[in-house]
Chains A and B, each alone.
Chain A
């Protein structure tokens, strides 16, 4: 059983074929395959390993944040079945982090002594490495056996994923040169998810209105992070950064994207009943079985 759930990315816990799980499995492989092929073809510019390291780093953060989005989505959509892909996504985030780290080592010509000293000397690498250690702990304890053995402590241990995400985002900001747009955007999504958690903690029902409120709060917080980063870490006038949020003709700034994604998520509780009604009508038996 435990072997099967680990080895078979296309079946659910009961051993039945899961379309959702299979689709997600194929999707998470694609970015890695894409960069592997590009590396093989030497088609990533003059510093191919460095380029791959950056792009896989981007995907690591994306998978990490998407993993954290599953629980809130499950609640918002009242779709418990989403849980079947959570472990896979978490393990994916870890795997990408490991590939990212390996690419760094390869890019440094496998000089492990140098790599170790750099990790100690450069704060953003120390932070990234701590996040990687954290993710390996979680990956190592993601088997059914570990889950059983750790019991209630399993949940406690796996709470560190939020700290890991913070470290990963900090690493993202710190390695950026003057353009922190992507780091800001993904921090914004992370904040949105944390605000959902707060809402749940305060026992607010996740109605479209509550969710829209969360979206607005996350959007504002995103703008604030960007403002603070430029104000503290750079010589750019942060007030002008704040104002740049209003220059719509030149692209949407991260704060707006977070707001828009949050507002779309706020519509989900309305869409869900329509969708559910439709599927029930189509195949009532199957729907009942999955509930």
Chain B
């Protein structure tokens, strides 16, 4: 795993503009002074997000209210599990090193014709909408986020998978130059890249959302810019961040956390208050920033929509 997999399109960008990365790091480090620098430096400006104009998108009335107050953005963007940038929750500054343009997504596996698409080209092919979802982390905390994006179903249609496709496997970048958590040293030993997967039925479900924005603007780097997944009825680790590859596969993918600790994190990871994590109870959850602790609901309260996905799968470890 030490061998970093490079994709054709990945090499030139880092070779050509290492200054951009450098300047960007400096921006983070030096705060205001760095911000002034970005203003005059060409390469750094190229990092601006060209999709800005697409937000805010119209709210989908079916998901305009999650039944709880939307979590303050300052909490969501500063309390993240994004191990590519470090193991603490406070990786927001470090995650600013994430370079979100150019950003390409490879679609391959059991599809009619594999292709690579730039994020901005993809955004032209879809209609963005806003949905307010509840998010339940496996660590027994939760938040409510107004995401912007489009149903994964739409991407599946674009990919046009064959009948052999049984699962969708997602992959995050693996780029130690950009992500300090992937550098040699202890965290370089983790099974990068981050991988997650779901069944085709889950992928086609209307709730499964490809996220490109949040809070009426492009999604923050600390939250997995420029493109991530959100499945509100599963524990958060299933919803992969910063996707560079979507593969349609025959075999069930093994996720990053499942590889690390299969006794604690499984493939299904559906929220269930009755089934504790081996080390803690999942019966309740703390709502970020509110001081409240509330009872956790089966499938995070989305059971009426998703429970049917799991009929006949009772022998599976659906809740781990």
Residues of A within 8 A of B286 (CB): 47, 50, 107
Q: For the complex, what is the distance from the CA of A114 to the CA of B283, rounded to whole Å?
A: 10
The residue of chain A having its C-beta at the shortest distance from the C-beta of B286 within the complex is A47
Is A241 within 8 A of B288, CB to CB? Answer: no
Is B89 within 8 A of A250, CB to CB? Answer: no
Is B185 within 8 A of A46, CB to CB? Answer: no
Residues of B within 8 A of A249 (CB): 184
Interface residue B281 (Cβ < 8 Å from any Cβ of A): yes
Q: Would A235 and B141 be within 8 Å (CB), given that A45-B89, A179-B87 are in contact? A: no
List B64-96 residues whose CB lies under 8 Å from chain A: 71, 75, 78-79, 83, 87, 89-90
Q: For the complex, what is the distance from the CA of A250 to the CA of B288, rounded to whole Å?
A: 32
Q: For the complex, what is the distance from the CA of A170 to the CA of B259, rounded to whole Å?
A: 23
List A235-270 residues whose CB lies under 8 Å from chain B: 235-237, 240-241, 243-244, 247, 249-251, 253
Total cross-chain contacts (CB, 8 A): 81
The residue of chain B having its C-beta at the shortest distance from the C-beta of A107 within the complex is B286
Q: How many A residues touch the partner, as a band?
A: 20 to 34
The residue of chain B having its C-beta at the shortest distance from the C-beta of A118 within the complex is B281
Q: Which among A47, A233, A250 is the interface contact of B185 at CB below 8 angstroms? A: A250
Interface residue B34 (Cβ < 8 Å from any Cβ of A): no
Q: For the complex, what is the distance from the CA of A251 to the CA of B281, rounded to whole Å?
A: 35
B165 to chain A, nearest CB (A): 26
B213 to chain A, nearest CB (A): 21
Q: For the complex, what is the distance from the CA of A178 to the CA of B138, rounded to whole Å?
A: 14
Residues of B within 8 A of A153 (CB): none
A252 to chain B, nearest CB (A): 9
Interface residue B279 (Cβ < 8 Å from any Cβ of A): yes
Q: For the complex, what is the distance from the CA of A130 to the CA of B158, rounded to whole Å?
A: 57
Q: For the complex, what is the distance from the CA of A50 to the CA of B290, rounded to whole Å?
A: 13
Is A235 within 8 A of B261, CB to CB? Answer: yes
Interface residue A203 (Cβ < 8 Å from any Cβ of B): no
Is A174 within 8 A of B260, CB to CB? Answer: no
Q: For the complex, what is the distance from the CA of A171 to the CA of B237, rounded to whole Å?
A: 24
Is A45 within 8 A of B261, CB to CB? Answer: no
> Per-residue CB proximity of B1-26 to A under 8 Å, as 1/0?
11000000000000000000000000
Is A234 within 8 A of B2, CB to CB? Answer: no
Q: Which among B89, B90, B186, B280 is the interface contact of A122 at CB below 8 angstroms? A: B280
Q: For the complex, what is the distance from the CA of A178 to the CA of B265, rounded to whole Å?
A: 12
Is B184 within 8 A of A236, CB to CB? Answer: no
Residues of A within 8 A of B187 (CB): 179
Of the candidate stretches B188-196, B242-250, B296-304, the one touching chain A is: B188-196
Residues of B within 8 A of A48 (CB): 291
Interface residue B293 (Cβ < 8 Å from any Cβ of A): yes
Q: Which among B79, B259, B280, B293 is the interface contact of A46 at CB below 8 angstroms? A: B79
Residues of B within 8 A of A178 (CB): 83, 87, 190, 260-261
Is A46 within 8 A of B75, CB to CB? Answer: yes
Residues of B within 8 A of A114 (CB): 281
List B137-159 residues whose CB lies under 8 Å from chain A: 141, 143
Q: For the complex, what is the distance from the CA of A124 to the CA of B277, rounded to whole Å?
A: 13
Is A47 within 8 A of B280, CB to CB? Answer: no
Residues of A within 8 A of B262 (CB): 235
Is B183 within 8 A of A250, CB to CB? Answer: yes
Q: Would A109 and B188 be within 8 Å (CB), given that A47-B286, A235-B260, A235-B261 are in contact? A: no
Given contacts A45-B89, A178-B261, A247-B188, 15 further A-B contacts (CB under 8 A): A46-B78, A46-B288, A47-B141, A50-B286, A122-B279, A122-B280, A175-B279, A181-B186, A235-B259, A236-B191, A241-B189, A244-B188, A250-B185, A251-B185, A253-B186
10 A–B contacts from the bound complex (CB under 8 Å): A45-B79, A46-B78, A121-B276, A178-B83, A235-B261, A236-B260, A240-B189, A241-B186, A244-B189, A250-B184
